Structures are given as C-alpha cells and as structure tokens.
Amino acid sequence: MKLFRLIPVAIVALSLAFGQGAAKKAADAKTAVKSAAAAPAKAADLLDINTASVDSLKALPGIGDAYSGKIVKGRPYKRKDELVQKSILPQATYDKIKDLIVAKQK
C-alpha cells in the first residue's frame, strides 16, 4: 500500500524536475539572445567617424542632420570618445552609438 502512496509523489517530483529543465533552457536561450544583442559589432562592421558620409552617420541611433554635420566638421578624431570631449555629442547619444563606431587613424 505504501508504494501506491509514493507514486503521486514520484510523478510530482519528475514533473518538477523536467519542468525546471525546460525553464532553464528557455532562460539560457533568452540570455544568449541578450548577449548577442549587447555584444559590440565586429571591427569590419564598425563605422569610421573620420571617413563616414553624412548619410551613414545619420543611420546611427540618435544621430540626425545636426549631429552628423557636427561630427563631420569636428574631424579628424584620434579616439571616438572625443565626440563627447569636444562637445560634439551629449554622453547619452554617444552611449547609444559607441559600440557601432571607431576612429581609425591614417
């Protein structure tokens, strides 16, 4: 008789074990997607702020006509963070694009 009482307990335990495995896989998949989105672009995919066209700059998030014009006028840049140091861009806008740009030297 005791065996029949243990069957429901075993079923619940197995259900929980398999359910947690599925939830963990789903959580791992979400983490992988977030990591890929947050990862910086490859060097070949980065936009060089020293040579990019106004239209290419405007394609960046938060960059419109005014900021793209300021970026072009402020060239050349030794480092991409000079966009903030030279008051070309506010810090919040720079934070949106810093992983998408580079300042290459000739």
Which residues have CB under 8 Å from 86's CB, separation 6+? 74
What's the rounded Cα separation, in Å, for the pair 106 and 74? Answer: 16
What's the rounded Cα separation, in Å, for the pair 69 and 55? Answer: 10
Provide the pLDDT for residue 43. Answer: 63
Interval 13-38: pLDDT, tens: 656 666 655 555 555 555 554 554 45
Provide the pLDDT for residue 89. Answer: 98
Question: Whole-model pTM?
Answer: 0.60
Residue 65 above 80 pLDDT? yes
How far, CA to CA in Å, does 28 sit from each of 23, 31, 40? 9, 5, 20
Look up tokens 């990591």; give the residue: 35
